[in-house]
């Protein structure tokens, strides 16, 4: 059994968040790991390491269970699953579908996944035209609530399209709501988009996304660490989220309730030292409450436009968002003195320069010179009783 087949086996043996398995594979490589499981006997050094970690209490307490009992149980469950696996059949089935398997070391493997350490996926199934590594090297994850509001869906689509048009790949989870809108935005902009699924790449979940996934395959790529045919489960969605965070330079949460999968993705982004941003929304909307909480906690940067997101994840100084400015009114270009005189000029009935001087709090000479300038610029006009504002302005 070679590295590739061993990894295909491992995809079935343990859930992706099984860090003990992750450690075993990291220490011995996939082939030796499978061999140890098949033999029903883990390397004594590994067993010692496991016991040490748990004696020191840093491996996550698990109630009253003894470390060795736990390791035995894990090994038993890996073995039980190994019996039913046929990696050759899995590989053939994926290839028949049109998908391809990539493993660490494949040219298409995104090396940023190495940041996941023991949670690095054993392998990935890809289905679609785009090169995953190239699509993700400069990418942003746009994620959020399945129960998106029209506001959130609009923003997600805008972010997807605009990030794409500025050369950023758009990574999301292929779900209803924000995810789907982000993918659609990217597709509309002609950009590759990466949908990381919690099920096999051949499983259309949600089924209403049949056409969307077909479009993603045409222009982007579907990604999964699950074998073909695997259905999504609730824990798999959460485990999957770490891939979305790891693949991209930064994650922007468009809409999310206080408790939602997107908040879980946010946690992964922070843990992975990726940029995290959240889009604000109406405080009356529950689906923006999670975004606001992340902003309030200082965990996420408040981002209101795709440009601001690019500024966050882009190269410092190279990708600055344009500063938002209000319209420059002609009046604003006046000096403080001119403005003060202008404010003292009545709108309808004229006033003499002396009256204007007292109202404005400046001396007569200043008023006379200012009135000349203001008249030339069209702000004021001379009438029988003095000066007044010119109707219609300059």
Q: Which residues bind a copy of itself (CB under 8 A)?
A: 14-15, 18, 73, 76-78, 80-81, 84, 151, 154-155, 233-235, 257-260, 279-284, 288-289, 292-293, 295-296, 301-305, 308, 324-327, 339-340, 343-344, 357-358, 361-364, 366
The two structure tokens encoding residue 244: 């979305």
φ, ψ of residue 140 to 5 degrees: the values are -125, 140
Helix, strand, coil percentages, rounded to 5, for the chain: 50, 10, 35
Cβ-based nearer residue to a copy of itself, 42 or 194: 42
Question: Which residues is 386 bridged to in the sheet?
Answer: 383
Min CB(176)–a copy of itself separation in Å: 18
The two structure tokens encoding residue 217: 């395959």
Tell me, rounded to whole angstroms, the distance of Cα 111 from its chain centroid: 18
Min CB(83)–a copy of itself separation in Å: 8
Min CB(309)–a copy of itself separation in Å: 11
Cβ-based nearer residue to a copy of itself, 133 or 166: 166
Cβ-based nearer residue to a copy of itself, 96 or 259: 259
Cβ-based nearer residue to a copy of itself, 102 or 360: 360
Min CB(3)–a copy of itself separation in Å: 22
φ, ψ of residue 58 to 5 degrees: the values are -95, 0
Beta strands in the chain (DSSP E): 100-102, 124-127, 139-143, 169-172, 193-196, 221-224, 250-253, 275-278, 301-302, 380-383, 386-389
The two structure tokens encoding residue 296: 């309030």
Cβ-based nearer residue to a copy of itself, 43 or 158: 158
Min CB(214)–a copy of itself separation in Å: 27
Min CB(95)–a copy of itself separation in Å: 25
Cβ-based nearer residue to a copy of itself, 135 or 251: 251
Residues 271, 222, 280, 262: what is their CA dihedral angle, to the nearest 10 degrees? -50
């Amino acid at each position: 059994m070679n590295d590739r087949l061993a990894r295909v086996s491992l995809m079935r043996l343990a859930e992706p968040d099984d860090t003990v398995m992750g450690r075993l594979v990291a220490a011995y490589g996939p082939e030796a790991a499978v061999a140890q499981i098949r033999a029903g006997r883990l390397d004594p050094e590994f067993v010692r390491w496991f016991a040490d970690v748990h004696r020191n209490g840093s491996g996550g307490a698990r109630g009253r269970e003894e470390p060795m009992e736990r390791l035995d149980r894990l090994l038993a469950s890996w073995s039980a699953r190994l019996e039913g696996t046929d990696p050759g059949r899995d590989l053939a089935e994926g290839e028949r579908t049109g998908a391809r398997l990539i493993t660490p070391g494949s040219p298409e493997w995104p090396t940023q996944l190495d940041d996941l350490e023991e949670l690095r996926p054993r392998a990935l199934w890809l289905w679609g035209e785009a090169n995953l590594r190239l699509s993700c090297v400069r990418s942003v994850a746009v994620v959020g609530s399945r129960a998106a509001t029209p506001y959130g869906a609009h923003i997600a689509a805008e972010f997807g399209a605009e990030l794409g048009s500025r050369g950023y790949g758009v990574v999301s989870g292929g779900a209803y709501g924000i995810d789907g809108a982000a993918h659609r935005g990217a597709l509309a902009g002609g950009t590759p988009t990466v949908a990381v699924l919690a099920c096999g790449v051949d499983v259309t979940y949600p089924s209403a996304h049949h056409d969307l996934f077909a479009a993603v395959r045409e222009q982007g790529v579907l990604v999964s660490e699950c074998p073909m045919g695997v259905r999504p489960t609730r824990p798999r969605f959460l485990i999957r989220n770490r891939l979305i965070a790891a693949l991209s330079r930064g994650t922007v949460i468009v809409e999310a309730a206080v408790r939602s999968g997107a908040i879980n993705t946010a946690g992964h982004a922070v843990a992975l030292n990726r940029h995290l941003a959240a889009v604000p929304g109406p405080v009356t909307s529950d689906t923006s409450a999670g975004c606001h909480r992340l902003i309030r906690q200082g965990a996420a940067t408040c981002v209101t436009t795709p440009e601001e997101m690019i500024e966050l994840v882009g190269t410092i100084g190279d990708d600055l968002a344009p500063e938002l400015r209000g319209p420059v009114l002609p009046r604003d270009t006046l000096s403080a003195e001119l403005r003060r005189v202008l404010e003292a000029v009545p709108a309808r009935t004229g006033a003499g320069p002396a009256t204007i001087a007292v109202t404005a709090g400046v001396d007569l000479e200043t008023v006379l010179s200012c009135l000349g300038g203001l008249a030339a610029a069209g702000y004021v006009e001379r009438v029988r009783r003095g000066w007044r504002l010119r109707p219609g302005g300059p």
